[in-house]
Chain A
Amino acid sequence: MSDFISQGGFGFFVWGAYGMVALLLVAEIIQLRLWQRTIWTRLGRLMRMRDAGVE
């Protein structure tokens, strides 16, 4: 296991590369989810305001 982590002494480079990939891809997914939630909340509020204004 520790052999795997050390990657023959190049662990810093291998995991530094893969770590950034994982970090950015996960960050993009989270950002997309939050953005979607914001849109739904905003549009929902917009509709309720419009309905309240009409009736």
Chain B
Amino acid sequence: MTLNWFKFASPASFYPLAGRLIPLFWSLTVALVLVGLYWGFFQTTDHLGGSNPQKEYYRIIFVHVPAAWMSMWLYLVMVVWAAIGLVFNTRLSFMMAKAIAPTGAIFTFLALWTGAFWGRPSWGTYWDWDPRLTSELVLFFLYIGYMALHAAIDDIRRADRAAALLALVGLVMVPVIYWSINCPDPNQCAALHQRSNLTRIDGNILFSMLTMTLGLWMYSFATSLTRLRGLILERESEAQWVRELIEHGEKQR
């Protein structure tokens, strides 16, 4: 079977495809998050006490790290769609970018919030101008800026392009966040975050963290595609297929 991918670049054919995928993503979200949380809360308890004791607040890692990863990944994906839109002038790509932004902003806020609730018991403060906290905060404002700029311009095509440019420029923050913990000597810089190394993390904790990350990925797919379907309906309301959809589907949606 040959699949014509360009077929799905048109909103009319992408709309039903997304509709079929969304329930799948929701069930994966629920399954992965349940497994991840169960494993994180009940299968890693051997880290409490012992020679290198963890306090219970280490459990925040299972949502903090996945949320922080998603905040950066979603920004990257958003910029890729925005860039494709700018280069090829494809409507659907701009809609994709716009559909991702709110979910990305939520995960950025959650990374900051869960970090604050972890920082208070472990570092003694909810907030500090640590390089990673600061750059993550800037990322949050970039998401907000993208959405605000888009909302401020009435002409949708101009709003798409202006917001896409802002997102593109803001991409500089992603590597800054990524390397913001690369402090060679803790006495020389203000970094509170330690260098991280996935290979040094205990297998059970890593399993839970990665499962939760996958779960949040599926969540992001589900919410972005749902939002994308809404945007398609709004923008294509003049199209014949939308009229037929509304007429036929009003009862059974």
Contact partner, A44, options B56, B226, B250, Cβ 8 Å? B250
Assess the A13–B230 pair: CB atoms within 8 A: no
For chain A residues 1-55, which have a beta carbon within 8 Å of chain B?
Answer: 7-10, 13-14, 16-18, 20-21, 24-25, 28-29, 32, 35-36, 39-40, 43-44, 46-47
Write out the residue numbers on chain B whose beta carbons fall within 8 Å of the beta carbon of A29.
Answer: 223
Assess the A24–B109 pair: CB atoms within 8 A: yes
CB distance from A33 to the nearest CB of B (A): 9
Query: Complex: how many Å from CA A30 to CA B230?
Result: 14
Assess the B230–A14 pair: CB atoms within 8 A: no
Looking across the interface, which residue of chain B has its beta carbon closest to that of A20? B113
Assess the A21–B110 pair: CB atoms within 8 A: yes
Write out the residue numbers on chain A whose beta carbons fall within 8 Å of the beta carbon of B242.
Answer: 43
Contact partner, A7, options B59, B114, B234, B250, Cβ 8 Å? B59
Assess the A9–B56 pair: CB atoms within 8 A: yes
Write out the residue numbers on chain B whose beta carbons fall within 8 Å of the beta carbon of A17.
Answer: 60, 63-64, 113-114, 117-118
Assess the A14–B223 pair: CB atoms within 8 A: no
Looking across the interface, which residue of chain A has its beta carbon closest to that of B29? A25
Contact partner, B117, options A9, A16, A36, A44, Cβ 8 Å? A16
Write out the residue numbers on chain B whose beta carbons fall within 8 Å of the beta carbon of A47.
Answer: 243, 246-247
Assess the A10–B219 pair: CB atoms within 8 A: no
Query: Complex: how many Å from CA A28 to CA B113?
Result: 17
Assess the A25–B106 pair: CB atoms within 8 A: yes
CB distance from A54 to the nearest CB of B (A): 12
CB distance from B38 to the nearest CB of A (A): 13
Write out the residue numbers on chain B whose beta carbons fall within 8 Å of the beta carbon of A32.
Answer: 223, 226-227, 230
Interface presence of B57 (CB below 8 A): yes
Assess the B56–A24 pair: CB atoms within 8 A: no
Query: Complex: how many Å from CA A24 to CA B107?
Result: 9
- A13 in contact with B110 given A8-B56, A18-B63, A32-B226 (CB within 8 Å): no
Interface presence of B253 (CB below 8 A): yes
Assess the B246–A43 pair: CB atoms within 8 A: yes
Query: Complex: how many Å from CA A7 to CA B56?
Result: 6
Contact partner, B246, options A20, A21, A36, A44, Cβ 8 Å? A44
Looking across the interface, which residue of chain B has its beta carbon closest to that of A6? B56
Looking across the interface, which residue of chain B has its beta carbon closest to that of A33? B226
Query: Complex: how many Å from CA A18 to CA B243?
Result: 42
- A39 in contact with B110 given A13-B121, A14-B60 (CB within 8 Å): no
Residues on A facing B (Cβ under 8 Å): 7-10, 13-14, 16-18, 20-21, 24-25, 28-29, 32, 35-36, 39-40, 43-44, 46-47
